[in-house]
Amino acid sequence: MATDKERREVFERLPLQERLWVLRQLQDETVGGALLIAAATIALVWANSAWGDVYSEIASFTIGPARLNLDLSLATWAADGLLAVFFFVAGLELKHELVKGSLSRPSKAAVPVAAALGGMIVPAAIYAAINLSATDGEPSGWGIPMATDIAFALAVLAVAGRRLPVAVRAFLLTLAVVDDLGAILVIALFYSDKFQLLPFLASLLCMLAYWLAQRARITSPLLYVPLALLTWGLMHESGVHATVAGVALAMLTRIKEDPGEEEAPAERLQHSLHPLSAGFCVPVFAFFAAGVDLRGQSLVDAFESPIAIGIMLGLVVGKPIGVLLGAGLTSRFTRASLARGLSWLDVTAVGLLAGIGFTVSLLITELAFGYGSDTTSIGKIAVLSASVIAAGLAIVALRLRARAYRTMYDEEERDEDQDGIPDVYGGQRPLP
């Protein structure tokens, strides 16, 4: 039975085992965020240099078997293929949160879920309101400002929020995981086209085979790798965006350990694939998605577009307002309060960090407006600009609380007996 403290406190100290898991996730994401920013910067500079045409030729270079309708450009392979790995890892993180983490108990899940929902609904509403009322608006892009890029956000934290309490960073991670689920549902329901029933049903059969293999405790990659590729290929052929297959397979992966088993398959896969996703898949996608050619465009005209206005206001203003409203209203109705030493400015800072859309926002921009169009370029300019502005505002908010964070961090990390475990855990040991 939940204690009174569990029902009422937001951002409380994490259990030791969960703390170790979160720190490991954050470390991988931070490194991935730095690589993502580097890849996007290189692409943007290259696309606007004297060799910009070479960049465009590389991005549009087609490879793959035409008979299977997989003769795709490298940019499309990055969006449909590499991001499927990203969403598979995100799905594994979501399943961990649902079964073992902060989403496993309704009393703990209410605030971050409400914050994530607010952070998706308010930006989408702002974008829709602006573009529905404008004569040259594009309402179909309403899903663009809904996303949160956890890797980019954690790269910002590595600069300005290294001493942010682990519980607050875990809140951002949970919010982003729920955000990813929302994004993949939006992509599946609203940004997939030319739906074909038979390939979709065949993909579902592959998923059933995957689930049965998990139930049978089969571990051989000789089964799972071809099955995963077939599931992805059939999902792609069905017209549903292929990244949906990644999340679906992740949710079917066993997360609970058997007696005598050190790690369940979901944990093993997460540990092995997370570096690949954060260190290669997402940066490569960013490289192909962020290379917007600005040479033939007027930035003033681009920023005056209702598309850009909707995206930027959605991410920079709508995200923190939505996160704050969702968390605040839920806390009020559930009688939850912030943990000692924290304030609602910290929730606002998390909301500003959530305004860094980037990876998934760039993906939805391409899905909404088509790859390579002028409208897509405007959307990407807005996403990139909004992400930088949101990051800057988040850094300011975090700096304002630097002293309080330092005090909480020192208390949280104190290890006077030098046993490798913070003293606040009173001699606890992580599970083997």
pLDDT along the chain (432 residues), means of 10: 48 70 72 86 92 91 88 91 91 85 75 90 96 92 90 78 74 83 87 86 96 93 94 92 91 90 88 89 91 76 89 95 90 74 82 90 90 87 92 88 76 66 60 51
Pairwise CA distance, residues 428 & 169, whole Å: 22
Pairwise CA distance, residues 35 & 427, whole Å: 37
Could you tell me the two tokens for 412? 């949280």
The reported pLDDT for the residue numbered 163 is 74
Could you tell me the two tokens for 214? 């998990």
The reported pLDDT for the residue numbered 158 is 73
The length of the chain in residues reads 432
The reported pLDDT for the residue numbered 300 is 76
The reported pLDDT for the residue numbered 6 is 45
Choose among 154, 128, 187: nearest CA to 22.
Answer: 154
Pairwise CA distance, residues 372 & 383, whole Å: 15
Q: Are 193 and 239 in contact (CB under 8 A)?
A: yes
Pairwise CA distance, residues 142 & 208, whole Å: 33
The reported pLDDT for the residue numbered 388 is 92
Contacts of 98 (CB under 8 A, 6+ apart): 104
The reported pLDDT for the residue numbered 123 is 95
Pairwise CA distance, residues 273 & 285, whole Å: 16
Q: What is the DSSP letter of 216?
A: T
Contacts of 219 (CB under 8 A, 6+ apart): 265
Could you tell me the two tokens for 411? 């208390």
The string over 373-384, giving b where at least 16 C-beta atoms fall within 10 Å of a residue's C-beta and e elsewhere, is: eebbbbbbbbbb
The string over 15-36, giving b where at least 16 C-beta atoms fall within 10 Å of a residue's C-beta and e elsewhere, is: ebebbebbeebbebbbbbbbbb
Q: What is the DSSP letter of 328?
A: H
Q: Are 104 and 299 in contact (CB under 8 A)?
A: no
Pairwise CA distance, residues 225 & 223, whole Å: 6
Q: Report the SS3 class of residue 201.
A: helix
Domains of the chain: 7-192+241-412 (1.20.1530.10)
